[in-house]
Amino acid sequence: MSISDKVALVTGAGTGIGKGVAIELARRGVKVAVHYNQSSAGAVHTRQQIEEFGGQAFIVQGNVAHKREIESMVQQVADQYGGIDILVNNAALQLNHGFFDHTEETYDTMMHINLKGYWQCIQAVVPYMKIKNSGRIINISSVHAKRPTDFDAVYAMTKGGIRMLGRESAIELGKYGITVNTIEPGAVDVGKYSTSRAPEIRRRFPLGRVGTPHDVAQLVCFIASDESEFMSGAAIRLDGASMLL
User: 73, 82, 66: which is closest to 31 by C-alpha?
Assistant: 82
Instruction: Give the count of domains, the chain.
Output: 1
Spatial CA neighbour of 97 closest among 84, 79, 110: 110
Higher pLDDT, 175 or 150: 175
Distance CA 213, CA 21 (A): 7
Q: Is 218 contained in some domain?
A: yes
Answer yes or no: is 2 within a domain.
no
Distance CA 197, CA 126 (A): 44
d(CA 244, CA 147): 11
Interatomic CA distance for residues 160 and 11, integer angstroms:
19
pLDDT band at 74 (very low <50, low <70, confident <90, very high): very high
In three state form, how does the secondary structure of the chain look? CCCCCCEEEECCCCCHHHHHHHHHHHHCCCEEEEEECCCHHHHHHHHHHHHHCCCCEEEEECCCCCHHHHHHHHHHHHHHHCCCCEEEECCCCCCCCCCCCCCHHHHHHHHHHHHHHHHHHHHHHHHHHHHHCCEEEEEECCHHHCCCCCCCHHHHHHHHHHHHHHHHHHHHHHHHCEEEEEEEECCECCCCCCHHHHHHHHHHCCCCCCECHHHHHHHHHHHHCHHHCCCCCCEEEECCCHHHC
Domain residue limits at 134: 7-244
What is the predicted pLDDT for the residue at 190? 85
pLDDT, tens digit, for every residue of 37-59? Answer: 998 999 999 999 999 999 999 99
Q: CA-CA distance, 11 to 233, in Å (whole number)?
A: 20
Q: What is the pLDDT of residue 193?
A: 64
Q: What is the pLDDT of residues 121-143, one digit of tens each?
A: 999 999 999 999 999 999 999 99
What is the torsion angle, in degrees rounded to the nearest 10, for the CA atoms of residue 64, residue 114, residue 124 and residue 138? 130
Q: What is the pLDDT of residue 194?
A: 54
Catalytic residue IDs: 155
Average pLDDT taken over every residue of the chain: 94
pLDDT for 196 beyond 80: no
pTM of the model: 0.94
CATH of the domain at 87: 3.40.50.720
Residue 182 lies in a domain: yes
CA dihedral 23, 202, 241, 89 (to 10 degrees): -30
Task: Dump pLDDT digits (tens) for 138-168.
Answer: 999 999 888 877 889 999 999 999 999 999 9
Q: Region 16-28: what's the mean pLDDT?
A: 98
136, part of any domain: yes
Across the range 175-184, mean pLDDT stands at 98
Greatest Cα-to-Cα distance within the chain, rounded to the nearest angstrom: 52
164 belongs to a structural domain: yes
Residue 1 lies in a domain: no
pLDDT of the residue at 150 = 80
Q: What is the pLDDT of residue 191?
A: 74
User: Is residue 173 one of the residues assigned to a domain?
Assistant: yes
